[in-house]
Amino acid sequence: MPFFEMIQVEDQQQAASFVVNRLTKDINEKTLHSLGLATGSTMIPIYKSIIHSSLDFSQVTAFNLDEYVGLAPTNKNSYAFFMQEHLFSKKPFKETYIQNGLAENLESECIRYENKLTECPLDIQFLGVGENGHIAFNEPGTSFDSTTHVANLTDSTLGVNSQYFDDHEEIPTRAFTMGIASIMNAKQIILLAFGEKKRQAIEALLGDEITEQLPITVLKRHPHVTVITDIK
């Protein structure tokens, strides 16, 4: 029987406190060995609270959901850079994995990353959700059976992401991403969604339909999902 938990919060700081408490419990109970992480503005307050907590990740391996194709880890818009800036440089992990944006062979990089996930199954995966219902960079229409792959980003996603790039910079149109099947293999999923722009996606998750046109709806098939949101 699927376990679906809705946590209503007043703001992102309250959400961050909930996350820290959940992670503290799992680390104390020695049930957290592998953690799937996300990027983006939704995660920044979460990572700030984690940094200022007493959480010890020295025995935890971290995996990131996605990375832009063509961006070096030193590029300020790469997700490798984001993770270093907001978490990894301040809270050491046992190991950290993120797809190599400069990989010469994209297919081989996808296989390498998926194999790592198989070797070290995720205990918890953090997720955000796009306005069009995408999870990670699994855009509408992505197969529920997909594993780590290179995604072509939609105009909707590119429009949202453009705020992070200078006008003269070219926004990557492709990204490595864990596939939907990769995400669904996690033992627990924690989805965070804030603001009215995410209402349609959350309502789709709470509705009856499960469709590849709204990737978030696949979470209804997962055995243990927690949704943290300020949407009422």
Catalytic residues: 66, 132, 134, 139
Name the one residue in this structure whose structure tokens are 């199954």: 121
Classify residue 24 as exposed, middle or buried by CB count within 10 Å of its CB (0-12, 13-18, 19+): middle
